Amino acid sequence: MRYHVVLTLGAITALSACAAGPNYHAPKTASLGVPATYYEQPSPSIAAQSDADLAQWWTRLGDSALDALIQKAIANNLDIAQAQARLRQAREALVQANAAFLPQVSATGSGGKNYRSGTSGFQLDSNGNVIGSSSNSWSSAYSVGADASWEIDLFGGIRRSSEAARADLAGSGFDLAATRTAIIAELVTNYVQARLGQEQLRIARETLANQQDNYDIARWRLEAGLVSSLDQEQARAQLAQTSATVPQLETSVKAALNRIAVLTGEAPGEATRSLEQPKAIPVAAENVAIGIPADTLRQRPDVRAAERTLAAATSRIGVAQAALYPSLSISGNIGTSSTAFRDLTDIVTGGVFGRIAQTIFDGGRLRAQVRSQRAATDAAFAAYKGTVLTSIEDVENAVNALKAARERATQLGIAYEASNNSAILARSQYQAGLTDFQTLLTAEQTLLSARNSLAGAQSDEVLAVSQLYSALGGGWQTMDGRPQ
C-alpha cells in the first residue's frame, strides 16, 4: 500500500507539471512589423534615452513652476488615483487566484439545550378517574466539526489562472504608468497654452498702445486739416479690432488654468492664482535622442500593457482547455458531538474521500470556450501589434512636428525682425507726413501677425518636444512600485 500511494502521488505530480494550453512567449519584433530604425531622426545620434532622462523629461524645459505642478498632479490627480485603485484590485485578484492552489478548510461548532415536554405514567384521582403525570426536561447538546477540500491541479488549469492574474497585475501597473504619462503630457500642453495666451495678451496690449498713438496722430492731423476723416476712421477700426481679441485671449488663458487645476486634483480658481502672473513660454530642449523603434517595447507603458494583456489571454486558453479534462479533488471531515462539553473528545468521527469528475456531454460548451479564448488571444495579439505600430507612428509624427516647428520659428523670427523694422519706418514716415495711413495700417497688421505667429511657433516647438517625449514613453521610469 505504501508503494501504491507513492506511485499515485508521483503520477499526480507528473501530470500537474504539464499544464494545459500553450506556453506564452513574447512575440518577436519581426512579427510585429517593427522597422530597424525610424524614418526620421531629430539628430545624427540614434542612442536611446536613458531611464533617468525619460523619467523627468519636463525638467529640461527649465521651468520650476511647471515642475511643481507636475509633482502635484502625480500626487493628487484623480485619474491616477483611479488607476492606482485598479492596480490594488489586480493585486488582490492574484491573491485569490493563488489561493486555489491550497486546501480550503472550514470549521463549525454549535452548542445549546433541548427542551422536552410530555406525560409519563398514570394515577387515580378521588373519583377513580385516571390522570396522567406531566414531565418536562432539558438536555444539552454540543458539536464541533471541520471540513477540508483540495482540488489537485492535474492539468494546470489553476496554474494558468494564476499566470493570467499575474499578467493582469503587471498590465494594471503599466496602465497606471500610461495614465501618468498622459496626465503629464496634458498638463504640459495646458501650461504652455496658458503661457502662450499670456504672451499674446502682452503683444495685444503693446500693439494697442501703438495703435492708440496712431489714432491720436490721425485725429491731430485731421484737426489740422492735413488728412481726411478716412485716416481717423481706419485708425479707430484697427484699434477696436485689436481690442476685441483681448477677451478671447483672456478666456483661453483662463480655460487652460482651470484645466491645470483639475489635473492637479483641485477646483478651478484659487488653485492657479499664482499662475495668473504672466511668464515666458518655456524653452524647448535641444538634441532629443529617440533611439530605435524596438526601444518602444521597453519604454512605452501602453505597449507593455498590451503585451501583458496578450500573455493573460494566452494563459486563459489553458484555463479553458483544462476544463475539458478530468478533475480530481480530495475532501475530508472530522467531527464530534456530546451532551456534555467536557465529553466532546470521547468520540471523534471523520473520513477522507477522493472525487474524480469528467464532463461527458455539454453540447460542445467547453470546447466552444477554448475556441472563444483562442479568438480572444488572436484579438489581443492584433491589439498589441496595433499599439506597437501606433507608438512608432507617434514618434515619427512628433519628430516631424518638432522639425517643422523649429524651421517655422527660424523663419518667423526673420519675419518678425523685418516687420518690426517696417512698422517703425512706417510710423515715423506717417508722423512726418511722408506716407499715407494705409501703409502704416498694413505695416502694423503685419507686425502683429508676425509677433503672434512667432509666439505660436515657439509654443509649438515646446509642445512637439512634449509630444516626442510622450511618444517615447517618458514620465514613469522612476514611478514607485513600477512594473518590471
299-335 residue pLDDT tens: 899 999 999 999 999 999 999 999 999 988 898 888 8
CA–CA separation, 281 and 201 (whole Å) = 13
- pLDDT for 338 equals 76
Among 21, 91, 96, 92, residue whose Cα is nearest residue 319 = 21
- Cell of residue 198, nine digits: 499670456
CA–CA separation, 74 and 181 (whole Å) = 10
Spans of the chain below 50 pLDDT: 1-16, 44-46
DSSP state of 49: P
CA–CA separation, 481 and 83 (whole Å) = 13
- pLDDT for 275 equals 92
How do the domains of the chain map onto residue ranges? 20-101+153-324+359-472
DSSP state of 38: -
193, 252 contact by CB (below 8 A): yes
* Single-letter residue type at 28: K
Cα separations in angstroms, 478 against 51, 54, 100, 181: 8, 9, 34, 12
- Cell of residue 6, nine digits: 507513492
110 three-state secondary structure:
strand
- pLDDT for 232 equals 86
- Pick one of 2.60.40.1840, 3.40.50.1360, 3.30.300.30, 1.20.1600.10 as the CATH number of 20-101+153-324+359-472: 1.20.1600.10
